[in-house]
Structure 1
Amino acid sequence: MANASIKIDTRAIQKQLSDMAKQIPFATATALNSIAFDVMRKENDSMAEIFDNPRPFTQRATQVEKKASKTDLTAVVSLRPAQERYLLPYEEGGQHATSGNAGKLLVPVDGPVDRYGQIPKGMIARLMQRPDVFAGTIKGIEGIWQRPASGNQRNGGKGVKGRLSTLGTKKTGLRLLYAWRENKSVNKSLGFVDRARKIIEASSPQALQAAIQKAIRTAR
């Protein structure tokens, strides 16, 4: 039988494979960023399931701190610093984050609160500028107090409305707006890392497939 020699020109295929190899970092970075933003959205959504009526500020706590690139295949998802300060105990355990007054918690009693049941930002500073409001300890209760309104305040003043405080069986004539309470350990779990791990495991295959398909289209 006569010998035959057949040559196949693979230069076009080699070029396509080379082009695809160049697209792999791009595809990887695209997939990582897609997964990172998926984690961010779902971590933020979970805040409403963990906490009762959380503020929008808390529901925007998670961020994509760093996106991946072709030269740095690392994406970072984290809590924003301002929210991390009070959310970290829910992830790592321990007591509620506090500020001032030797680690005690200032809690509403009969003072103004926002629609989330929390002390509005700047409220204490504004109240403390009033002549009828003071910080002190009355009958062993430490807090922010309001003195009884004068006759003029009752008739035309803009005093904060509310009931007067009763300590034991004796009325003080003072209104307890906010009280300092001893700190205690948090009773909820954020589960940030565990949730992120589950999201990554569930979304990675689809994100990688979508990124590869995009890379193939781009390489043509």
Structure 2
Amino acid sequence: MPIEISVRSNLKQVSKQLSALAYKQLDFAASQAINDLAKQVAAAEKENIKATFEKPKPFTINAVGVKGSNKRNLTAVVFVRPVAAKYLAPYEEGGAHKLPGRALLNPKNIRLDQYGQLTRATLARLKARSDVFIGPVNTKNGAVNGVWQRVRARRGQPAGLKLLIRFGDALPVKKRLGYGDRARDVIDAGWKPAFDRAMARALATAR
């Protein structure tokens, strides 16, 4: 991503079959059709994000945008805004997760937000607590680096440590969004209907 939608090669063939009036409206109708398709592609990509990830945040879904075409530039662009594009890139190109910090945060015994994610506010509150510390702890399975809570002894239970968040390395991405394939499917199926609608509107309003 970004995905460019341009149909100049299609227009050359279409223009041979148009009346004089329709020919005058060709670029206007094409621009309208391209913008229609761009919106369809953007909507499909948003639905794709929803289907690929469990409870994606609105920020990620709404990061898909459209730069429309006009009569002088018959090309529209469907894109993902920079911040989201950075962490979504591996889901299109492959590779490891893009981490927001130096380590992957793997919550264990802590409440997450409605999207199943850890918020910055939660991290800030944990760091401010006197019974919480950040660092490695030697366990029977080896050293574990993360956010730990000191748990006081209770009836029948000794004092100890509870792992709240485990730090890890970036893992390879297994899912794929397939931006390009999805966009091509929408364009191939939608171009003629979109152009026919746009041309009908253009002819109806032509002077």
User: Scaled by the length of structure 2, what TM-score is found?
Assistant: 0.80
Q: Deviations over 1:72-122 (max 9, x none)?
A: 111000112221121110100000111332xx3111011221122211243
More strand by share: 2
Gaps of 5+ in 2: 1-18
Q: 2: CA distance between counterparts of 1:74 and 1:138?
A: 56
Greater displacement, 117-126 / 38-47: 117-126
| 2:99 alignment partner, SS class | coil
Give the conservation status (yes or no) of the 8 Å contact 1:132–1:149: no
Give the conservation status (yes or no) of the 8 Å contact 1:111–1:176: no
Q: CA RMSD in A?
A: 2.2
2:51 pairs, out of 49, 65, 79, with 49
Q: Which residue number corresponds to residue 67 of structure 1?
A: 68
1:212 pairs, out of 183, 194, 199, with 199
Q: Deviations over 1:30-67 (max 9, x none)?
A: 01100000000111011222122322333323211x11
Gaps of 5+ in 1: 1-15, 152-163, 165-170
User: Scaled by the length of structure 1, what TM-score is found?
Assistant: 0.76
Number of equivalent positions: 183
Give the conservation status (yes or no) of the 8 Å contact 1:26–1:69: yes
CA drift of 1:20 comes to 4.1
What amino acid sits opposite 1:183 in the alignment? A
| 1:145 alignment partner, SS class | strand
1:143 pairs, out of 143, 146, 152, with 146
The answer as to 2:76 corresponding to 1:84 is no
Q: Which residue number corresponds to residue 26 of structure 2?
A: 24
The answer as to 2:79 corresponding to 1:40 is no
What amino acid sits opposite 1:115 in the alignment? Q
| 1:176 alignment partner, SS class | strand
Q: Segments of 4+ in structure 1 off by > 3 A?
A: 19-22
Residue identity (%): 40
